[in-house]
Amino acid sequence: MEGDGGLDVTCLNKYCNSSSSSSSSSDQDRKLFMKLKLNLSGDYPRKNAEFLSGQYGINLFLIGVALMLAVARDNPSVEESHLLAFVTCLMVLQLIWMMWYILLRERRKNTRTERDVNATTSWIRGALTVLAVLSLVMDAFRIGYFVGFSSCLSAAYAVYPVVHATHTIAQVHFLWFHIKDVVKSLEIFERFGVIHAVFTNVLLWCNGVMSEAEHFMNNHIRRLSFLDSENITIVASEPVCNSTTSSSTSSLFSRGLVYLFPFNVEYHIFVSVLLFVMWKNIGRTISSNKKSLVTKSQGLTLGPILGLLALASTIAVLVVYITRIEGVLELRQSAVSMFYIYGIVMLAVMCFSGALGLLIYRADHVPLDTSKNTSRQLDTELLFGSSLGSWFMSWCSIVAVLCTESKASYRWTNFVYSIFIVLEKYLQNLFIIESLYRQQERAERSDPELLAGSEIFSVTSSMAPPFSGIINRAYETPDKTPEKEQEESREVYRCEEQQEEQPLNMKRLILKNIAVLLIMCNASLWLLPAFGCRPQYDNGLEQDIYGFSAWTTVLNFAIPLNLFYRMHSVASLFEVFRRV
């Protein structure tokens, strides 16, 4: 009986152990399944929403580019009205998303929203507002253009400027009040909305670039036909309609659009950059906010004077070039030679300034700031990416000069100018990146006595007494009267005032003058190609080597990138000026 009982107990224990082990393994499997389920339902969309929305934006962009290529080919089955209708639909979708976002933020205005103070500055938003106003003027010109040719234009030409004006106003409001938001709710939906806005503005930029390139191409072909160097037909830039009393006014609107295209192009590309920063910030945790920078302009003399001189000479060169390039062959060659000589002097000054700034930085051993900053990283990538266009164009010019048999007077000045373009961008990129990535020099770091004083007058754990209660300061320092304490506090306050009001040292003064000079020079080099001074079309050296189609394709790719580089450099250099 006992044996049977003992056997039963043993068997029972074995059964219990096997059942407990099987239940524990099932519990482990259940926990593993639940963990996998949570990963798939929670982490997977959060980690891959960026890639999913990015692929959506890329495909949206490729559809628009495909339509633009079909329109540029003058295919009768794909007209410009189709492209405008597609872009209008994209703007309407962005308007719906922006209104939904603004209304949602208004409903949650009592909820604290994280903001990235590095995303943009008030002066950048102010500059974009000015560009937006000029874009609204361009929309008014488009409406006037449609009114004159309404009998032979599609309704898309009337709807597009109206929707674009509404889109511009709403987008400027969004930039001023919501571009710094760090989205933490509905992240997947918001990622798709922001990336849709990014590529809508990129497509609007491409549309403006295409229209601007078509205008310059028609002028170039007209000059070639005047010189009988090429037998190329000119594409009509205006529709063939019955003559009306308003046709002359509409032609005036059409010519006015040409001078507004550069501002509209820069507006859209800069807005797309700011929206891209917002897209990258979705779901981020902002660690710390930087302190506002105080811009000091004391001691600035040489930089602004040289910059204004460069800007005045640029306007003079632009006027002379535009008037002479329409003349006979001798005047055209003299205009091209004048441009290259002017460019060599300007670029040489910029190279010297950038090299001097780099030498000052190398002599001052300050560690680099390696903290994560989305805006700064994007600035670096955009500087190098937009440099590729002018670098490629310059190396094509260098190869053409070395291979051509032409005896033009500007052959070797073109060669020197192209070399300086490569060198100037190289040095300027290094100077900007070095400035943006250097740690801010604080007064505490430069003055060890001030650092020690700040530690003395602060409460730290090492200085706190090991007991609680009322401390008798008169007992600790019996020789110190209240009058002496007030006098010492006045001395400390006076020292702090002297520390704050001390003038800029020579190193910072030179760097600020360099930044101002480079700002004015970059603005000057943006002004020339934006308003028609493009000798790469008119010198004929590269066209003889690469052919008309290949060289114009290179220019249509490189010149828009170069324009963006110059304007982006102005913004980056102004930030350098504020940080020095």
Query: Which H or E run includes 310?
Result: helix 302-324
166 in the same domain as 50: yes
Q: Which segment of 63-67, 273-277, 282-286 scores lowest on mean pLDDT? A: 282-286
496 in a structural domain: no
* Distance separating alpha carbons of residues 269 and 205, to the nearest angstrom: 6
323 in the same domain as 199: no
Residue 215 pLDDT: 84
Q: Residue 531: pLDDT above 80?
A: yes
Do the Cβ atoms of 341 and 420 come closer than 8 Å?
Answer: no
74 in the same domain as 188: yes
323 in the same domain as 221: no
* Distance separating alpha carbons of residues 236 and 85, to the nearest angstrom: 22
Give the total number of structural domains in the chain: 2
Residue 122 pLDDT: 83
Do the Cβ atoms of 67 and 78 come closer than 8 Å?
Answer: yes
Q: pLDDT band for position 217 (50/70/90)?
A: confident
Q: Tell me: the pLDDT tens digits for 435-450?
A: 888 876 554 344 333 3
User: 285 is in which domain, residue-wise?
Assistant: 42-109+118-229+243-292
Q: pLDDT band for position 500 (50/70/90)?
A: very low
326 in the same domain as 263: no
Do the Cβ atoms of 198 and 60 come closer than 8 Å?
Answer: no
301 in the same domain as 276: no
554 in the same domain as 516: yes
Backbone angles phi, psi at 83, to 5 degrees: -65, -45
460 in a structural domain: no
Residue 296 pLDDT: 59
184 in a structural domain: yes
Q: Tell me: the pLDDT tens digits for 10-21?
A: 444 444 454 555
Place of tokens 């205005």: 109
Residue 499 pLDDT: 45
Do the Cβ atoms of 194 and 273 come closer than 8 Å?
Answer: no
237 in a structural domain: no
Which residue would you say has higher pLDDT here, 121 or 155?
155
Taking each helix axis from N to C end, the angle separating 506-530 and 411-436, rounded to the nearest 10 degrees, works out to 130
191 in a structural domain: yes
Residue 166 pLDDT: 96
280 in a structural domain: yes
For 368, the 3-state DSSP assignment is: strand
What is the chain's mean pLDDT, rounded?
79
Q: pLDDT band for position 108 (50/70/90)?
A: confident
276 in the same domain as 304: no
| Summary count for the chain: helices (H), strands (E) | 19, 0
* Distance separating alpha carbons of residues 251 and 238, to the nearest angstrom: 8
Backbone angles phi, psi at 181, to 5 degrees: -65, 140
Tell me, what DSSP letter sits at residue 438?
Answer: B
Q: Residue 227: pLDDT above 50?
A: yes
Q: Which segment of 276-290, 425-439, 522-536 scores lowest on mean pLDDT? A: 276-290
For 481, the 3-state DSSP assignment is: coil
Average pLDDT over residues 262-269: 93
Residue 45 pLDDT: 56
570 in the same domain as 531: yes
**The domain boundary residue, chosen from 275, 292, 309:** 292
575 in a structural domain: yes
Q: What angle do CA 408, 411, 416 make, to 5 degrees?
A: 160
137 in the same domain as 264: yes
For 21, the 3-state DSSP assignment is: helix
Which residue would you say has higher pLDDT here, 173 or 229?
173
Of the segments 26-35, 310-319, 324-333, which one has the largest average pLDDT value? 310-319
Q: Residue 75: pLDDT above 60?
A: yes
- For 275, 287, 528, 538, the CA distances from 342, given in Å and listed in that order, are 37, 48, 11, 16
Place of tokens 């020079």: 521
275 in the same domain as 354: no
Q: Residue 485: pLDDT above 70?
A: no
Q: pLDDT band for position 492 (50/70/90)?
A: very low
Which residue would you say has higher pLDDT here, 540 or 59?
59
Residue 378 pLDDT: 86
170 in the same domain as 155: yes
Copy the structure tokens of residue 152: 């032979």
Place of tokens 């302190």: 291
238 in a structural domain: no
